[in-house]
Amino acid sequence: MENFSLFEGKLLLWLQDNVRTDFLNAPLCFITRTKVTVAVWALFLLVLFLFKKTRKASLAGGCGAVLSFLTCNLILKNIFDRARPFVVIEQLQIIGKIPGDSSFPSGHTSLCFACAAAVCFFVPKKLAVPGFCFAFLIAFTRLYVGAHFPSDVFFGMINGILCGIISFFICRFVFNQAEKKEAVREFLGE
């Protein structure tokens, strides 16, 4: 495990020394803020909700977000309580706001992949692709700013995708039950 952590630290330092630029710092720090990330997803899900064809996708995405928050931010972060990389790696400098919670897994990444995965089951690919592109962008920004180790981001992706899949099954069950009740009402003439 120590060798793996050493590799992760070297990767983060490489990103800091070779990828970070003044040109990218401001926009990537802005987009990776919790409020901005949540607002982008909230706006996307709201737009999906406005159209009857994509309303189920919106509700599934919202369910995925809630599941991600519960599992990642309230359970896993408290169980693992991993220090942030900028605390452990002396040469690593975080850019942007200093997070106050534990590092493992990445809550931003989990949220984004939960929403993207849940939505993708209910919409055509052309609508699912932007969600996954945004999720990958956020995952990258978490490494770029020095807020997470690569394994935090990877397991955030896994947690998010699992939450999205679970949301799909929950929502599909709920939607099917609602449709059955509606069919019975129509049959009975109510």
pLDDT of 2 > 60? The answer is no
pLDDT of 12 > 70? The answer is yes
Single pTM value for the model: 0.91
Kindly state the tokens that stand for 56.
Answer: 């189920």
Return the half-sphere exposure (C-beta side, CA atoms, 13 A cut-off) of residue 15: 23
Q: Report d(CA 24, CA 86) in Å as an integer.
A: 19
Cα dihedral 165, 171, 173, 178 in deg (nearest 10):
-170
Q: Report d(CA 141, CA 156) in Å as an integer.
A: 13
Q: Beta-carbon neighbour count of residue 39 at 10 Å?
A: 11
Q: How confident is the model at residue 1 (pLDDT cuts 50, 70, 90)?
A: very low
Q: How confident is the model at residue 187 (pLDDT cuts 50, 70, 90)?
A: low
Q: How confident is the model at residue 180 (pLDDT cuts 50, 70, 90)?
A: confident
Q: Report d(CA 14, CA 10) in Å as an integer.
A: 6
pLDDT of 38 > 50? The answer is yes
Residue 3 has a pLDDT of: 53
